[in-house]
Structure 1
Amino acid sequence: MTAQVASIVLSAAFLHALWNALVKGAGDRVIMLGMIALGHVAFALTFIGFVPVPDPSAWPFMVASIAIHWLYFYLLNVAYRLGDLSFIYPVARGFAPVLVALGAQFWVGESLPIQAWIGVFSVSAGIMFLAQGAFGATMSRNALLAALAIGATVVAYTLVDGLGVRASGHALRYIGWLFLSKILIVLFLFPGRMDRLRAQSPRTLLIGFMGGVVSGTAYALVLYAKTIAPLGIVSALRETSVIFAALIGVIWFGEGPRARRLLSAVAVGAGIICIGLGR
């Protein structure tokens, strides 16, 4: 893995944890997710006029990605209503690299070396340690199921977009048109919720919109990295965001128990790094 790929994806990891924290901290998460989708559209509009339409072979991947992201946004709203950021985020993101690496091995021919398997076990151990309290009084079974469902959508769109951006012929082609399509999410969420939209303060709306720009930037960096590095490695390194999310959850939201969440996040992050470096 080159330093260029590592720096690009680590930057995306921090930005991704940051915008998830914005969603978690929002009073009305549906409106916040709509503003984030609007931020994606605005991000695309800054360059969409300068890039051609993606190759037709990429369109099926793009359509599939739109549907998966729609489900992903819905599950985020549900999960952050049920559980803490420092629990939901590591579980949702932690097992995704394992499945992405395995999926890429079967579909794209990317193999997993021994060092990467060590990372797999570290990720699994970290998640199990984090989820110890999932069925206790402070964490519901539904929160765990929602986090796992988010993880499944992450695996799905990671593989779909990884193949789609390669088929498009140019990263910006795929990124621009994919983000522009998020206007469908905005049109679905806002028209029937105008009273709730107007009830939000300008500051809240601006935070949501800028969260969308941040989110779009993060995912654009990841999609670009997928054109120059294996899917499994990019996905693995990106999920170091679990460390950022755990720190944000503990420091910003005061979530606990601190020791378990921080230790499990470190274990997951260490495993992910092993996966990413196992080449």
Structure 2
Amino acid sequence: MTSYNGWFYWALLSAAFAALTAIFAKLGLAGVDSDLATLLRTAVIILVLGAFVGYTGKWTNPMDLAPKTLGFLVLSGLATGASWVCYFRALSIGEASKVAPVDKLSLILVAVFAVLFLGERPSAREWLGISLIGAGVVVLGLKR
């Protein structure tokens, strides 16, 4: 078995928490505007992560970061915010069991962008897995 150096287990936990995010969000969106719900969720994230970073002593001045690093982190934050707004809007009008898998088209886009912008080269086996995810999304998206 391949040594994952810990990343695989963190990724599994991420998937589990992402699944809970969809379920809790769908339940929490009852009677609430999706944009307001996204704002409230973001406020919770800021408070909890701020406390965690402070408690673990990891706080440093963001202005001390290299401009390129800071710029990419800002762009990542903007993309995350846009993703969350769209995701919560989709959840507010669609079924979580359909919205979440379609959202995972991001997996295919990450692979393509990683090839184009990061120079990564997935193996044939990895492309097969990525393609199967894409096929699953298409099957879920087909009208009955």
- State the TM bucket, normalised to the shorter chain: 0.7 to 0.9
Q: How is 1:138-177 mapped onto 2 (pairs within 5 angstroms)?
A: 139-140=3-4, 142-165=6-29, 167-177=30-40
Residue from 36, 41, 52 that aligns with 1:178? 41
235 and 278 in structure 1: CA distance in 2 versus 1, 3 angstrom threshold? farther
5+ residue gaps, structure 1, are: 1-134
In the alignment, the residues of structure 2 paired with residue 172 and residue 217 of structure 1 have an alpha-carbon distance, to the nearest angstrom, of 11
Identity %: 24
- Using the TM superposition, give the Cα deviation of residue 253 of structure 1 relative to its aligned residue in structure 2, in angstroms: 2.7
SS in 1 for 2:93: coil
In the alignment, the residues of structure 2 paired with residue 242 and residue 215 of structure 1 have an alpha-carbon distance, to the nearest angstrom, of 15
| 1:50-86 C-alpha deviation (Å, 9 max, x unpaired) | xxxxxxxxxxxxxxxxxxxxxxxxxxxxxxxxxxxxx
Contact 1:250 1:258 (8 Å CA) reproduced:
no
- TM-score, structure 2 as length reference: 0.81
In the alignment, the residues of structure 2 paired with residue 155 and residue 221 of structure 1 have an alpha-carbon distance, to the nearest angstrom, of 16
- TM-score, structure 1 as length reference: 0.45
| 1:5-30 C-alpha deviation (Å, 9 max, x unpaired) | xxxxxxxxxxxxxxxxxxxxxxxxxx
Match of 1:277 in 2: 142
203 and 257 in structure 1: CA distance in 2 versus 1, 3 angstrom threshold? closer
278 and 154 in structure 1: CA distance in 2 versus 1, 3 angstrom threshold? farther
Aligned-pair RMSD on alpha carbons? 2.4
- The letter of the residue matching 1:175 is T
- Using the TM superposition, give the Cα deviation of residue 190 of structure 1 relative to its aligned residue in structure 2, in angstroms: 5.7
Match of 1:220 in 2: 85
- The letter of the residue matching 1:180 is A
Contact 2:26 2:91 (8 Å CA) reproduced:
yes
- Using the TM superposition, give the Cα deviation of residue 161 of structure 1 relative to its aligned residue in structure 2, in angstroms: 0.7
257 and 220 in structure 1: CA distance in 2 versus 1, 3 angstrom threshold? closer
Q: How is 1:67-216 mapped onto 2 (pairs within 5 angstroms)?
A: 135-136=1-2, 139-140=3-4, 142-165=6-29, 167-184=30-47, 185-189=49-53, 192-195=57-60, 197-216=62-81
SS in 2 for 1:193: coil
- Using the TM superposition, give the Cα deviation of residue 197 of structure 1 relative to its aligned residue in structure 2, in angstroms: 3.9
- The letter of the residue matching 1:173 is L
Contact 2:38 2:85 (8 Å CA) reproduced:
yes
